[in-house]
């Protein structure tokens, strides 16, 4: 994915600014309109770049994901932009943001980016293949986690989010569906944070980063902080709120905010008063509830969150 700057230099769309004149990167919408994507290229058995698609893996906010394999036997996850989003400038911008964030953030608990390019006019991400079950699948099968196991999972998620925030990004879609449990061993669980399709730069550096501005809700309602619902300032605190919702669910087996309608769920989120966590140690419940403070300013810092998972119990 390349962008021609007004100065004449060609840049990767993942660059925040031109390598020659340092101007913010702005996509040429006329060039985009001239693309003629071939959707037939993305079916099982098709060859995309140096990889052959072996099976469909799933679907996320922005794209379809396939397991793919190279001639050398390397297995990866290949993500292609959804067909119905190919004409969407916003979707393409989000795809670029996802690739840029993953290139800037390397952490053991984050699924890594291997490559990013276009194939037949369709944006493609080649990602580390992370195999296992999602936290959602684990919860559906086993119910609540034992507290020590949950704490180890939450500690890894905390470290991953901290790495993302330090690099200048916010995830905005932390939920059990987007966390893969690679090893379910209770004494040593291993997780990976995935699906960065809604990632946003904390400090916009280009028109790509500025899109999806205030006033437009994105995310998963039951895991969205009050400020997301109210179109307020979006920062690391929204990810810490979502971590609190996930923590509550891992420890109790139920979501803290639910309802028959989206309005019911939103009302509960804005009230920020989840039910007591029956059977959960009091100190651990306090650690979770601090993350669910209605005011973003009242939520704890990374250091305090980390201590909550390490010191409790």
**Distance separating alpha carbons of residues 241 and 248, to the nearest angstrom:** 11
User: How many beta carbons lie within 10 A of that of residue 266, not counting itself?
Assistant: 19
Which DSSP string do the residues of 5-48 spell out, in sequence order? -TTS-EEETT-SB-TTT-PBP---HHHHHT----GGGSSTT-EE
Structure token pair of residue 96? 């670029």
User: One of 4, 74, 90, 173 is an active-site residue; which one?
Assistant: 173
Q: Is 173 a catalytic residue?
A: yes
Question: Rg of the chain over CA atoms, in angstroms?
Answer: 20
DSSP 219-230: S-GGG--HHHHT
Residue 160 neighbours by CB under 8 Å, 6+ apart:
107, 109, 110, 193
What is the distance between the alpha carbons of residues 230 and 211, in angstroms, rounded to a whole number? 18
Q: For tokens 């609540």, what's the residue?
A: 144
Q: Check if the beta carbon of residue 76 is closer than 8 Å to that of residue 127.
A: yes
The backbone torsions φ and ψ at residue 140, rounded to the nearest 5 degrees and listed phi first, read: -65, -30
Query: CB neighbours of 10 closer than 8 A, spacing ≥ 6?
Result: 2, 3, 4
- 178 near 80, Cβ under 8 Å? no
From CA 87, how far away is CA 34, in angstroms rounded?
Answer: 11
| Three state DSSP letters for 128-192 | ECCCCEEHHHHHHHHCCCCHHHHHHHHHHHHHHHHHHHHCCEECCCCCHHHEEEEECCCCCCEEE
Length in residues, the chain: 313
User: So which residues are the catalytic ones?
Assistant: 173
């Amino acid at each position: 994915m390349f962008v021609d700057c007004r100065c004449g230099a060609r840049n990767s769309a993942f660059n925040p600014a031109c390598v020659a004149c340092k101007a913010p990167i702005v996509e040429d919408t006329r060039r985009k309109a001239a693309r003629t994507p071939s959707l037939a290229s993305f079916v099982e058995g098709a060859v995309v770049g140096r990889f052959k698609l072996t099976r469909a893996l799933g679907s996320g906010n922005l794209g379809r994901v396939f397991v793919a394999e190279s001639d050398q036997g390397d297995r990866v996850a290949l993500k292609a932009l959804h067909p119905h989003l190919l004409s969407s400038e916003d979707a393409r911008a989000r795809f670029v943001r996802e690739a840029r964030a993953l290139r800037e953030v390397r952490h053991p608990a984050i699924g890594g980016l291997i490559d990013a390019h276009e194939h037949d006019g369709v944006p493609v991400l080649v990602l580390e293949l992370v195999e296992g079950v999602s936290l959602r699948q684990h919860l559906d099968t086993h119910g609540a986690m034992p507290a020590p196991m949950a704490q180890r999972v939450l500690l890894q998620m905390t470290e991953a989010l901290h790495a993302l925030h330090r690099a200048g990004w916010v995830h905005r879609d932390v939920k059990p569906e987007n966390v893969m449990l690679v090893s379910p061993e209770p004494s040593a669980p291993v997780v990976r944070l995935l699906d960065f399709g809604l990632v946003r730069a904390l400090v916009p550096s280009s028109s790509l980063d500025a899109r999806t501005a205030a006033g437009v809700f994105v995310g998963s309602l039951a895991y969205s902080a009050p400020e997301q619902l109210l179109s307020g300032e979006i920062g690391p605190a929204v990810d810490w709120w979502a971590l609190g919702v996930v923590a509550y669910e891992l420890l109790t087996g139920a979501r803290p905010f639910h309802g028959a309608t989206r309005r019911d769920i939103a009302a509960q989120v804005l009230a920020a008063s989840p039910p007591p966590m029956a059977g959960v140690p009091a100190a651990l419940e306090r650690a979770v509830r601090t993350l669910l403070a209605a005011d973003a300013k009242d939520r704890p810092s990374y250091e305090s969150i980390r201590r909550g998972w390490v010191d409790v119990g």
